[in-house]
């Protein structure tokens, strides 16, 4: 089979899309919220309405952690513990969009 100009265009397109995909997925390296004693309360607040283990699949699928409620506590406690953001930290409203809860 002879590869024609049109085919090369298609191949280039596929390669570009793959490259973008890899570039984006590599960005997921922001530190998650540590699942430790200090951050226990964050997890408790975020998952306060979590469906029980025996809840329907439907309920589980649509459950979203209460991120906004939990985020209120990040900065006050970090301030108390003198935890500073790195100088190049991105805009910081909505901590949990970037710093994922691990569970
Ligand atoms: C009760 C206090 C407290 C609250 C609330 C809290 N933090 Fe922290 N955080 C700490 C302390 C203390 C550390 C230092 C490391 C440790 O003890 O885990 C820390 C460290 C971190 C780190 C750095 C982890 C690392 O590996 O270096 C991140 C990211 C973080 N917190 C995110 C958050 C986010 C996001 C929230 C809110 C959803 C939050 N924290 C709420 C006390 C708190
Ligand atoms: C737009 C995304 C974004 C948001 C929103 C955000 N962060 Fe970050 N944060 C980052 C990135 C990127 C870094 C640097 C890479 C890393 O170490 O995770 C960082 C680093 C940190 C660190 C230092 C981690 C270390 O290396 O010890 C702390 C603590 C932290 N963020 C807390 C917070 C808190 C608290 C909030 C909410 C008030 C917040 N961040 C909101 C993206 C974000």
Residue 97 beta carbon below 6 angstroms from any ligand 2 atom: yes
The pTM of the full predicted model, rounded to 2 decimals, is 0.83
Whether residue 12 lies inside any domain: the answer is: no
pLDDT at 72 over 90: yes
Whether residue 1 lies inside any domain: the answer is: no
Whether residue 94 is contained in a domain is answered as: yes
Q: Whose Cα sits closest to atom 1 in ligand 2?
A: 90
Cβ of 32 closer than 6 Å to ligand 2, yes or no, is no
| Contacts with 35 (C-beta within 8 Å, 6 or more apart), sequence order | 43, 101, 102, 103
End-to-end CA distance of the chain: 50
Q: What is the mean pLDDT of residues 37-41?
A: 96
Number of domains forming the structure of the chain: 1
Stretch 7-24: mean pLDDT: 86
Distance 31 CA to ligand 2 centre (A): 7
Q: Is 93 exposed, middle or buried (0-12, 13-18, 19+ CB in 10 A)?
A: exposed
Q: Provide the domain limits for residue 71.
A: 31-98
Q: 99 alpha carbon to ligand 2 midpoint, in Å?
A: 6
DSSP 60: H
Q: Which atom of ligand 1 is nearest to the CA of 80?
A: 2
């Amino acid at each position: 089979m002879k590869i024609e100009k049109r085919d090369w265009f298609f191949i280039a397109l596929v390669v570009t899309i793959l490259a973008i995909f890899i570039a984006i997925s590599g960005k997921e390296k922001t530190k998650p919220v540590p699942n430790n004693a200090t951050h226990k309360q964050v997890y408790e607040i975020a998952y306060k309405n979590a469906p029980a283990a025996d809840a329907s699949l439907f309920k589980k699928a649509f459950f979203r952690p209460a991120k906004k409620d939990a985020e209120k506590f990040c900065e006050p406690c970090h301030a108390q513990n003198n935890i500073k953001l790195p100088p190049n930290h991105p805009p910081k409203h909505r901590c949990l969009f970037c710093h994922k809860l691990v569970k």
